[in-house]
Every structure is written in C-alpha cells, then in structure tokens.
Structure 1
Amino acid sequence: MSSIFYHSPRHRAATSSSPLNSNSRALYSFSISMMDETLSAAEEMIQKWNPEASTFAKFTSLFYESRREAKQFINTVMDLQRAMQFLASENSNSVELVRAQNLMQIAMKRLQKELYQILSTNRAHLDPESISGRSSVTSMEDRSRRTSASDFDVDEVGSVEFDEIQVVGDSISEVERVSALAMSDLKAIADCMISTGYGKECVQIYKMIRKSIVDEGLYRLGVERLNPRKVHKLDWDVLDIKIKSWLKAVKIAVKTLFTGERILCDYIFSSSDFIRESCFNEISRDGALMLFQFPELIAVKWKKKSHEKMFRSLDLYDSIANLWQDIESTFSSESTSIVRSQSLSSLIKLSESVRTMLSEFESTIQKDSRKSLVQGGGIHPLTTQTMGDLCLLADYTAPLSEILISTDDNDDVVRHRFAWLILVLLCKLDGKADRYKDAALSYLFLANNLNHVLTNVTKSNLNIILGDEWIAAHQEKLKLYTANYVRMGWNKVVSSLPTPGEDGEIRISVAEAKSCLERFNVAFEATYRLQASWVVPDSELRDEIKVSICKTIGPVYREFLDKFGGALFVDGVKSSLVRYDTGDLGNYISDLFYGTGVSGSSSSHSSGSTSTKRNSWSR
C-alpha cells in the first residue's frame, strides 16, 4: 500500500492527461479506495482510545489494558501518517486530509497520555541503578525485544518458538521483565511520535519526568547547589562533612544515576541522534554541573592553604580522576561538553591547590620554630606530625603522580618529592639536636627520631615509594648515630679502666688498679645518673643500644676484674672498692632509657629485660 501512496507528481500528471492510460486510471481509483479504508480503520481505532470520547478511554491505559492492541494502535498511526503524506501530495486542501490531521492529533494526545503514564507508573522499574547495571544498549534491545515478544500470544510471535519464550521468561526476574516491557513501550511510542512529527511533544514529557528523577537522585545523595559565597562562609568542620558526603555521592551519581539515564535515553530515542543527545543534555546537565562544580569551589575556597586540607583535596581529585573515563563516555556529545569542561576545570584547580599545599607543607617543616628541647632526647613533635602526614600522603601515589608529573619531567617525581620532604625534616632535626648541651644526648635524639622515621617508612606505602636502597642507607645512618651516642656517652666509663698493651696484658700495679676502680665507680655512677632520665621510646632500638653499651664496657671491665680479682677480694670477700660485679652493671643498664630518673633499684623493670642485659653483658 505504501507504493500506492507514494506516486510522484509527474506520474499523477501523466495519469490525468492521458485518456489512453487505462491501467493508471484504475490504479489511481484503487488507491483512493484504499485511502478511504485506511482512514476508516484509523478512525475506528483512534476514536476508541480518544480520552475525550469515552470514560473508558479516559481512565484506562492502552498499553496496560492490551499490549497487542497497543501495537495495533501504533501500526494504525503509522498507516495514517503515510495516508496523510499521500493526501497532501494530491490535494493539500482536501477534506480527507483535514480528517486525517484531526485523527492524528487525537492519536498523539493518546500517545502522550500513554507516555506519561508509563514513565510515571514505572519509576521504580526504570530507576538508574537497574538500567546502569545492564552492559549495553544492544543487550537492552535484545532483552526488551525478547521480553516484548514473550508478552504476546504464541500465534503473534511467529518465528519465536514457545519453548524459547518460556526460557526467556524464566531467565529474568519480574522486575527486569516489567522494566524491559516498559522500555519497549516507551521506545515504540517515541519512534511513532518522532516519525509523525511530534518529537517535541514526546521529549517534553520525557524530560519533565526523567529530570525530576535525576534531581531527586542527587538530592538523596546529598548533593546540593552551593555558590562561592556560601562555601566561603562555611566552617571547616561543616565543610568537611559536605566533602565526605560528596565523595560518597559522586561515584553513585556517575556510574549509576547519569550512566543509567544515558543508556535509557540512547535506547528510547535511538531513532534520532539529535533528539537523543539534546534530551540527555537537558535532563542531566544541570545536575552534573552542580555535582562537578563543588570540588572547584573547595579548591578556590582554600586561599590560605594548610596541609591538613591537602588530603581532602587529594580525595576530591582522586574521585574525579578515577571516574574520568565514565565521565567522558557518558557526557561524550558536544551538547554535554560543558560537563566534561567543568570536571576538567575542577581537576586543574584541585591539582594547583595540592601543589601549593605541598610547597607550604615543606615550608612548615623548615619554619618550625619550637625551641623547647624534648625531654630525654625523645621523639620531637615535628617528627611525629610530619611522618604522620607523609604516611597518609603515601596512600595517594596515583593522584600525586598525575599532579606532580605535569610540573616535572622526571618519571620518579613522587619518590624524589617524598625523599626530599624527609631530608628537609632530618636537616631540621639536626639543627634541633645542636641545642642539647650533651653531645651524647644530641646523638640519642637523632637516633630516636631517625628510627621513628624509618619505622613509619617500613610500615606504610613509603616503603614501596622510597625503596630498599633508601631504607638501607638510612639504617646505616641510624647505626652511626647509636654508635656515636655509645662512644661519647660512655667514654669516661671505658677510659677509666686500663688499656691492655700490645701483648694484650694489663700492666699496672695493684695500687693503680684500685685507683682505676675508684675512677670507674665515679664515672659509671655519674653517667648512670645523667642518663637515667633519657628515653628511647622504641623497644627494639632500646634493646639494641643497651646491648651495644654492654658490649662496649663489659669485656674491658670483666678482664679488669679477672686480672686483679685476687688483690681486690680478701678471703673471698669483695673489697669496698668493688661496688659492682658484671651482673650488677647489667641490671643497672637494663633500667636505662625509660625516662624514670634514678630508680636506686635494679629491679624496677621486668626481669625479662634484666635477664637479657645480663646475658648481653657476659658475651
């Protein structure tokens, strides 16, 4: 019939002017007859579902009542459209054309009503989460087609076998089935309205309902519209809560809300690229811009940077960067390019903010002006704070690489930046160590703080970033600090005892031995009293230093007692000059580095620790 309806003007002229062309005249008469039948059939179907013609049509859904009849209604409208084209080509002022146009308007009102009802009643079945979970538009089309086919009688399906339909029906849930049917119906209505010139009316209804779903989804996710002035007035605690809320919302918004809407829009309006793109743009643009403007507002808000806020900036940057491929694919068209531009602008502002904060973080270390000495040579607050921040920063290797690589051609820029920041810290600690009047205590301070740095490095991602070579080099430096402490802190004790000659023998008189022992007692007690308030917070380092002290004093003192024991012990009784045997000294040394002062008792700490030191002394 379409071939009959689409005669060219030239063909019509030839038909009317040539009385000899009887076949053409017959064909023309036949087309007029078919036209009348088409209009009559269209009028019967369309008037049946005219909302203004009957109460039944007004309150009943065509697609809900009978999807088979809904399909017939769509086919009837398409036939009517072809008939109108034929009538317009014959006589644009004909009564039949006016009749057909009136029928078309009634049909479009019906379809608009159906479109609104399907969109409204299936909000739960057409939620973005369900839609975004489907792999592609192609799979949606396949499922929708099969589900739609299974909804009709077997006779209507034709080539689709009953068993196949049963399998399809069993393989999907009821929610998926209803969703697929709704999408199939919406697509059929959209295709019909667009092809008949009513695309604008179709899109208006679709946009109104689907935009409300997107806006409601963003509201439920906690995304709100903010402006620079409002953000500027927010306290940090309030702003931090909003940032955390945004970080939770952005992934769902992109991967579920916008992606689902993109897939649904592409499927329903697949017949028109222009309508598909413009429709999705108007539905999603405002919400997407509101979502991706927030990070830029935060970056601009922090004019006075602080490294505490640096982590939130990195969180915001990392979230957008991780979603960038989804953002590009979802907002790929020219009409939605403004969303991509806004996302990129936020990334740029955040990266600038992070770079500034890193510079100010370094400056904060360098400018630390605390002059008070840490009691007992313990760990400085600057070390604790700096390493705490660096360990947190180490969890942001990926975003930091992207942010820093843009300003440095070195592929290892992140490692160099971390190594440099730790170097700045260690240099600052060197300066603070010089304030200790006791050189041994300054080395103990450096050992404590470097050990704290190494502990944090090995227990965090800094271990991977800095590498084994860096760690090994600083472990050697730590050994040097502890060796210098032992050498300088216990030099007076060791030097009070005689030194063996080249033959390994101690060649002094008993009187000189007694004098040496007196000096040893004085030096040991003075050193012990001085260092009793010193601290080594790390238990492993504390044990290593104690072992080192024992190894430094123990062999020399033991050899001295072995050499002059006969003279210093009378009838097995220890002389008053021999205040300590090797076990006593080990017990005293085991009490060091807890910062408790002079305890006066070698039993102030665990027997396990004392036993360890006594064993170390005897080596």
Structure 2
Amino acid sequence: MGDVMEDLSSITPTNECEEHVFIAARHMLKALGASKNVSNDLRRLLADVDIHLSRRTNITETVLDGTREVEERLKLAQEKVMRWESNRSMIWASGHEEASEYLQAVYEIQRLMESLRSSPSSSSGKQKELLDRAHSVLQMAMERLELELLHILAQNKQSFEPEYVSFRSCEEDFVSDVSIVSTEDESIGDTSRRDSSGTESENHIVDLVHPDIISYIKSIANVMFASHYDQEFCHAFTNFWKDALDEYFFTLGIDKLSIEGLLKMEWNCLNCKINKWIRAVKFIIRVYLAGEKRLFDQVLGEFGSVYSTCFVEASKGSMLCMLNFGEAMAIGTRRPEKLFKLLDMYEVLADLLQDVDSLFSSEIGSFIRTEFHELLMKLGDTVRATFMEFGHEVALYPSTNPCNRGVVHPLTKYVMNYINVIVEYASSLNLLLGGVQDGAELVPFDQNISLDNFCPLAHHLRSLMSYLEHNLDKKSRLYKDSSLKHIFMMNNLYYMVQKVRVSKLVTLVGGEWIREYTAKFQNHATNYERGTWKPVLSLLMDDENKTRKSILKERYRSFNISFEEVYKNQTGWFIPDTELRKDLQISISQKVIHAYRTFIGKNSSVIDEKHIKYTADELENFLFDLFEGSPMRLHSIHKR
C-alpha cells in the first residue's frame, strides 16, 4: 500500500484533461467506499487514496483559478495596449493620465510574464499560450514606446544657436590673409582681428530638451530597461541625438569634408571654413556636448556605464569630423599667412583640453581623448615650423627693383604688422618656441646683445627684425643714389622703431632694442646729410687764402646749380612720417642756411644784391619742400 501511495504522491496533473481524470477518480472512490461489500482493509485503502487525490485536486483547482486570473489580467492589459495600436494620436500628447495608464499596463504584462515563468506548472499548455501572448503584446508595446520616445524628443528639442551664427560667415583677416609674396599691397591691417564673439554663450550648458519632459523620457527608459529592451531604447535615443548633432553642424556651417578634399581647397575658402570651425568647436564641446552629456546622465545615469557608452556613440562621429579638419590643417603647407589661423586653432584646442578630458573621461571615450591630445601636439608642431618658415622667408625674400621714392618697403609693413599680431599669441608661442634655435645663421647677429633675460618669443622676434634689417640693407643697394639709400633705410628703421614703441612689442624686445635701432636710423640720417649736403656746402666754405672774385662768383653759381639739382631730385623723395620729415628738414635747414648767410655776409662786397639768386629765407622755404614726394623745379619758382 505504501508503494501505491508513493506513486500517487508523485503524480501532478500536467494538462486540463488530466485534471478532469483526477476529479472523476475521486468520485469513483467515494462510490466504492459507500458500498457494503467492501472489506474494512480495502475501505481504509480507498480512504487514504481519496485523501491523496483530494490534495491533488485542491492543487489543480488552485492552478486553474490562478491561470484564469492571469488570463483575465492579461486580457485587460492587452486591451489597454491594443487600444493605441489603432489610434493615430500619441500617448504622451494625450495627457499624463493616458501615459501613466499605458505604462501601468506594460508593467502589468511584465509581472504576469514573470509569474507565468516562475509558476510550478509553467510547462502547461495553457500557461505557455499565455506567456507567448504576453510576449507578443509586450513587443508591440516596446515598439510603440520607441515611437513615443522619438516623437517626444522631436517635439521638445530645444531650438537655439550661438550669437555668432547670425554674423557674417567669413571675415576678412587682413594680416593673416596676405601672403608675404604679395606685400606690394600696402593696405595690410595693423591690428589683430582675433574673434571674440560668442564668448558669453560658450560659458553655460544648454538644455537640449525642455526640462519638463525629462521625466517622460526616463519613464520610457525605465519600462524598456525593465522589459529587457534596453538595447532598443539606447539605439533609438543615441541615433536621435547623433542625427541632431549632424543637423546642428549644418546650422553652424560645418561641412563634413575629407582630409584630401580640405588639402585641395584654395586658402581663401579654407580660411573662411577655419573661422567657422574655430567658433563651432568651442560651442559644440563646451556648450552643446556638455548639455548632451548631462541629458544622457539624467535619463540613463542610474543604469551604470550605459549612459557614457551611449553619449560617446552619439558624439564620436561629429567629434572625429572636427578633429579630421584640424588634422588636415596640421599636415597642410606651412605658409606664413596660415600662422595665425593655426595659432587660433591651437589655442582653442588647448583651451578645450580639460573640457574634452571631462566629457570623455570613461574608458570607452579614451580614444577621443587620445585623438584630441595628439591633434593639439601636431598643430603645435605645425605652428612652430610655420613660424620658423616665416623667418626664413623674411631673410631671403628677394627684390629686383628699388622701392620708389625711398619709402617704407611693403615688406617692412607686412613684417612689423605680422609681428604685432604675433605678440597676441605670446603665451602659446613662448611654450612652443622654448628651446628652438632661431636660425641666426641666416644673418649676422649683434653678439653684444645679451638675450639671456628674454623669453623665447622675444628672442625670436629680435631675430626676425634682424632678418628684416638685413634684407632691407640688401634692397638699399639697388639704389644708384647713395643718399636715397640712406633715406630708404632711415624710413624703414624708423617705421620699425615706431611700431615697437607704440605696441606690446616694447615689453618683449625692451628699451635696449629701441635705443639701438633709434641710433641706427639716426645714423642713416646723418650719413644722408653728409653724402648730400657736405659737397654742396663745401662750395660755401671759407678759404684761408684770399679767393679771387671770379672764383667766389663761380663757387656761388656752382652752389646754386647743386642746390637746384638736389631740390629737383629730393622733393620727389618721400619721408612718410611727418615728424621724421620735419626733423630732417630742420636739421638740413640749420646747416645750409647758416653756411649760406655766412658766405653771403662775408662776400657781400663781391656778390652784391643784384647777383644773389635766392635769399636765405627763400632757401629755407625751399628746403621745407624736400621729401614731400612731388618733384619740383626752382627755375619755375624764381621771380628774378
């Protein structure tokens, strides 16, 4: 009998048919037990069997009742889900109540599926059927939630743009846009035009979506993650923001071009794109991506590293696009006109270094950090090489014709304006030029000047101006008139001194340099006076021996001829600086008029008034016509 009971205890109904058999068996046992022909032993056995069957029947009835409840609950949840399958309206647009009810229906399906999976009779046909049905409804709900997510994001994405987007897209950058080989254009600007627009908007994080709907997005994320549809949520959420960033690039005027395409581009066009890139990279990293990372953290932060993985996935394409642009600039030709744009790019990347390290601090974002750091180094190398190339071009820039009228050479203007802009980047260049040889072998350098106390940039700027002076000296040899050579050098060295004196350069190169170059241009002024006026004034000098009247008259006539020749030539020469011109005119006048008056006074008995061609006052006035840049002749002025 024990064996029979053991066999019975191991029996559990596995389907609805078996459940009915157990119930029928109990009725048969009760009928047999009521018979008078059954022995007491058999009656006891039948009673025991009935007890066991009763237990099994109770279990069966409980299972049946539970299954019916699950089915009923699933039916209700399914109805709530299916109601929206035929409805074109969006759930979250219909109100908070509707959205909450929908989410509760999905959570109900999750609970029922978990209950069915954990049930002792989960392998029964009915429960398998219910589980499949629940899974099908859940999948429909997940697809709908993904659609709702994208709709919420699209409808609530914030529209914003940095202030500079509405500005002109491509500024004319005077100094940086002019090649050293085109310095005949004298309209080069004197000041840096480094962009500072949009700085205020670069210092705060923006909300990419309206803050009020973040809770909606999180509720969808929570239910999809709980339903094991986390990959589907992340894919939809990430792709939306990846596409949004691509659209934003277009708004900022950033084209996704290959490195090869950028290298083939004309400089004027490329220069315009660099301007846009510089502004965009600051805003994208410091404002847009910072806001994007905050949003990803708000929505996905509680799911561990998922949020950083999704953020990197959403932003890496655009980040690499921006870095590719920088890469193209770093490997392009190293022309001097590109230096300031390269420096702008270098400085903006250096400024954003900590931002990038913070944005992509996770292991999965390490490759972006590495690419960013490497690009910064490459741009630094390119800046250094371009700066050195500029020095070589200044030293070796050729000329075949002398500069008309002895004026300031366009190369001098270009180089000094260029250097004045360089000073704006002193901090970066001191870092990049530290320990770099300046190529002083190109020109003889004043060994008496100690450079130990100067920063690297100051040392290189002194060298640059030495290269320029050396080149100007070579150009001065193109003049056939040695006096005009000195006027040319005086004009150019004076221009250099003035550019240093009134700018930040003075703090770099020091007062010693100014004194040295002031002495140089003054020396050229002195040499000019000696070369031009010493031979002329020698005709008026006293002779220890008494000179015959005829010789005195001849010397006076020769003086007038020489003076007129100088006047004819040197009124056409030009000293652009009014103060310098006036100083030289006064210096000449003092010497010439003094010698003339002395000569006329001492020889008044020989050269009477009727033979005097010009009075001292007239000569003095004539001298103030010199270096005005308009050739004049005295014979058309003289009234006698």
Q: Return the TM-score normalized by structure 2.
A: 0.70
Aligned to 2:42: none
Q: Relative to structure 1, is the Cα distance of residues 191 and 434 closer, same or farther in structure 2, using a 3 angstrom cutoff?
A: same
The range that moved more, 104-113 or 530-539, is: 104-113
C-alpha distance after superposition, 1:463-519 (max 9, x if no partner): 55434443343233222222222233211233333469xxxxx99789586566445
Equivalent of residue 297 in structure 1, options 328, 341, 346: 328
1:405–1:411 contact (8 Å) kept in structure 2: no
Aligned to 1:347: 376
Aligned to 2:560: 521
Question: Does structure 1 residue 386 correspond to structure 2 residue 415?
Answer: yes
CA shift at 1:84, angstroms?
A: 6.2
CA shift at 1:279, angstroms?
A: 0.7
C-alpha distance after superposition, 1:382-434 (max 9, x if no partner): 32343343344344434433432475899811222122111111012223324
1:214–1:287 contact (8 Å) kept in structure 2: yes
Q: Relative to structure 1, is the Cα distance of residues 603 and 81 closer, same or farther in structure 2, using a 3 angstrom cutoff?
A: farther
Instruction: Give the unaligned 5+ runs of structure 1.
Output: 1-31, 141-175, 501-505, 605-619
Aligned to 2:11: none
Query: What is the alpha-carbon distance in structure 1 between the residues aligned to residue 637 and residue 293 of structure 2?
Result: 75
The range that moved more, 369-378 or 539-548, is: 369-378
What are the residue-to-residue correspondences of 1:189-268 with 2, within 5 Å?
189-268=220-299
Q: Relative to structure 1, is the Cα distance of residues 368 and 211 closer, same or farther in structure 2, using a 3 angstrom cutoff?
A: closer
Aligned to 1:575: 610
Query: What is the alpha-carbon distance in structure 2 between the residues aligned to residue 460 and residue 260 of structure 1?
Result: 41
CA shift at 1:185, angstroms?
A: 0.7
Query: What is the alpha-carbon distance in structure 2 between the residues aligned to residue 244 and residue 546 of structure 1?
Result: 48
TM-align CA RMSD? 4.1
1:61–1:114 contact (8 Å) kept in structure 2: no
Equivalent of residue 483 in structure 1, options 526, 546, 559: 526
Aligned to 2:487: 444
Aligned to 1:553: 592
Query: What is the alpha-carbon distance in structure 1 between the residues aligned to residue 434 and residue 70 of structure 2?
Result: 70
Query: What is the alpha-carbon distance in structure 1 between the residues aligned to residue 593 and residue 430 of structure 2?
Result: 52
CA shift at 1:543, angstroms?
A: 1.7
Q: Relative to structure 1, is the Cα distance of residues 114 and 79 closer, same or farther in structure 2, using a 3 angstrom cutoff?
A: closer
CA shift at 1:307, angstroms?
A: 1.6
Query: What is the alpha-carbon distance in structure 2 between the residues aligned to residue 601 and residue 82 of structure 1?
Result: 116
Amino acid of the structure 2 residue aligned with 1:249 = A
What are the residue-to-residue correspondences of 1:265-280 with 2, within 5 Å?
265-280=296-311
CA shift at 1:133, angstroms?
A: 8.7
The range that moved more, 111-120 or 204-213, is: 111-120
Aligned to 1:307: 336
Aligned to 1:320: 349
1:444–1:482 contact (8 Å) kept in structure 2: yes
C-alpha distance after superposition, 1:105-127 (max 9, x if no partner): 63564355234334334435323
> Is the radius of gyration larger for structure 1 or structure 2?
2
Q: Relative to structure 1, is the Cα distance of residues 102 and 336 closer, same or farther in structure 2, using a 3 angstrom cutoff?
A: farther
Instruction: Give the unaligned 5+ runs of structure 2.
Output: 1-62, 163-200, 438-451
C-alpha distance after superposition, 1:415-462 (max 9, x if no partner): 221221111110122233244444332221110111232344455554
Amino acid of the structure 2 residue aligned with 1:296 = E
Aligned to 2:625: 591
Q: Relative to structure 1, is the Cα distance of residues 323 and 309 closer, same or farther in structure 2, using a 3 angstrom cutoff?
A: same
Aligned to 1:453: 496
Q: Relative to structure 1, is the Cα distance of residues 280 and 42 closer, same or farther in structure 2, using a 3 angstrom cutoff?
A: farther
Aligned to 1:70: 99
Q: Which has the higher contact order (CA 8 A, sep 6+)?
A: 2
Aligned to 1:287: 318
The range that moved more, 283-292 or 310-319, is: 310-319
Query: What is the alpha-carbon distance in structure 1 between the residues aligned to residue 559 and residue 552 of structure 2?
Result: 10
CA shift at 1:301, angstroms?
A: 3.4
Aligned to 2:386: 357
Equivalent of residue 466 in structure 1, options 502, 509, 513: 509
Q: Relative to structure 1, is the Cα distance of residues 181 and 530 closer, same or farther in structure 2, using a 3 angstrom cutoff?
A: closer
2:347–2:428 contact (8 Å) kept in structure 1: yes
1:128–1:258 contact (8 Å) kept in structure 2: no
Amino acid of the structure 2 residue aligned with 1:442 = K
Query: What is the alpha-carbon distance in structure 2 between the residues aligned to residue 398 and residue 322 of structure 1?
Result: 12
Aligned to 1:337: 366
